[in-house]
Amino acid sequence: MKTIKSILYLTIVASALLGCGAEQEEIQQETGFIEITKRQFETDSMQLGKAETRLFENIVTCSGTIVPQPKGIAKVNAPLSGIVKGISRYNGNLVDQNEQLLEVGGNEIIDIQNEFAEASASYRRLKSEYERVKSLYNEKVTAEKEYILAETEYKSSMAKYSALKLKVEAIGLSPSKIENGEFYPSYHIKSPIKGYISSLKTSIGSYISPQDELLEIINPELLQVKLLVFASDVELLRKGQTVRLKLDSSTSIQLATIISIGVAVDMETKTVESYAKIDNLRTAPLLANEYVNCEVVTSADSVSAAPSDAIIKTEDGAYVLVLSKQDDEKLYFTKQSVAVGREQNGYAEIKSPINGTMLTRGVYNISNVD
């Protein structure tokens, strides 16, 4: 009998406790508050704050490619046909301007020296003849017709000699040595710029001609960004605007500045080519032909903003927790719906007013905020 009374007593107590808990939960729901103890607030390093005015950027996104500036790339050809006899530098080698790259021999190098030597001899002979006839003509000893003929032949030989002399010098040969009978068995192709050999397209023993591209040289200190901007966005671009470059291979962001804006649309891609100069290029980890994601900062607006972590996003919309009241033990929050715009640098644009102080840090430590 005593055991039955004990069981009955425990049942009554448990029922009372459950009823009390249900009543407490119902009261909390009726109040509409989300309660946080001050102990939890401090333990979770929660913070309060208000919406603030921040500068938000208007951005045009586009794709880009790292390319050499016009003076930062050279495609090397042979001035004369011939056989490659030697290669001094290879892919990846750094070369200075005018450094020897290839040695080329063959019949054409001999032929042009013979032609120049003959033109030199003819020029000197006809020059001497012209000066003799001119002297006689001035003394009224020879006819004008003879003088004009000598002058014409002299000027024609001088033009041919000058042209061949320039060609010989362009190949890197000494005109004076050739005129003295010292012929070269080969000539050297030199680098027109300083840079790295990015492509070598010949080998020893190959026959080459002037239309063949033999090497490509790129100066990594003279790179720029080619931007492919959608035609609908081009009107927002201006020279001097900042461009942020994001590489797939790196987390770092490189800055650039727009220097030219295209005026023609590529009908296949519907984009316009524009170019940007890379800031601090010498320290930038960039490679020619590398793909980059680009953000062009076209303007900036002052907007009301809140930390992104303060905003709770659900299927029904977004809201923040606004402090309604507090006592010695708890802080009481209510949900307030907000219209959210852009998000940048850890802040979200708030398009509707927030009435009061909100929880700006630690929102997601609360279990019943959804």
Instruction: Count CB neighbours of 120 within 10 A.
Output: 20
Which DSSP helix (H) or strand (E) runs through 57?
strand 52-68
Residues of the domain holding 214: 71-218
Q: Is the domain of 355 the same as that of 314?
A: yes
CATH of the domain at 228: 2.40.30.170
Q: Are 259 and 278 in contact (CB under 8 A)?
A: no
Q: pTM of the prediction?
A: 0.71
Q: What is the pLDDT of residues 146-179, one digit of tens each?
A: 999 999 999 999 999 999 999 999 999 999 999 9
Q: Do 172 and 243 share a structural domain?
A: no
7 domain-assigned: no
What's the 3-state SS for the chain?
A: CHHHHHHHHHHHHHHHHHHHHHHHHHHHHHHCCEEEEHHHHHHCCCEEECCEEEEEEEEEEEEEEEEECHHHEEEEECCCCEEEEEECCCCCCEECCCCEEEEEECHHHHHHHHHHHHHHHHHHHHHHHHHHHHHHHHCCCCCHHHHHHHHHHHHHHHHHHHHHHHHHHHHCCCHHHHHCCCCCCEEEEECCCCEEEEEECCCCCCEECCCCEEEEEECCCCEEEEEEEEHHHHHHCCCCCEEEEEECCCCCEEEEEEEEEEEEEECCCCEEEEEEEECCHHHCCCCCCCEEEEEEEEEEEEEEEEEHHHCEEECCEEEEEEEEEECCCEEEEEEEEECEEEEECCEEEECCCCCCCEEEECHHHCCCCC
Residue 19 covered by a domain: no
Where is the domain boundary, 218, 245, 279? 218
Do 300 and 336 belong to one domain? Answer: yes
Structurally, how many domains does the chain consist of?
2
Q: Is residue 306 part of a domain?
A: yes
Residue 188's CB is within 10 A of a number of other CB atoms, namely 17
**In this structure, is residue 24 part of a structural domain?**
no
241 inside domain: yes
User: Does 369 lie in the same domain as 299?
Assistant: yes
Q: Identify the CATH number of the domain in which residue 118 sits.
A: 2.40.50.100
Q: Is residue 26 part of a domain?
A: no
Domain-embedded: residue 257? yes
Statement to judge: residues 184 and 126 lie in one domain: yes
- Whether residues 167 and 298 share a domain: the answer is no
Say whether 127 sits in a helix, a strand or coil.
helix
Q: Are residues 136 and 180 in the same domain?
A: yes
For residue 362, tell me if it sits in a domain. yes
Sheet order of strands, 195-200 included: 73-77, 213-218, 195-200, 94-95
Same domain assignment for residues 341 and 244: yes
Tell me, yes or no, whether 78 and 199 share the same domain: yes
| Whether residues 120 and 107 fall in one domain | yes
pLDDT at residue 30 in the model: 46
Which residues in the chain land under pLDDT 50? 1-30
Q: Among residues 188, 218, 248, which one ends one of the domains?
A: 218
Kindly state whether residues 258 and 367 are assigned to the same domain.
yes
SS3 266: strand
Q: Are residues 170 and 65 in the same domain?
A: no
Looking at residue 12, its pLDDT comes to 35
Query: How much is the pLDDT for 158?
Result: 96
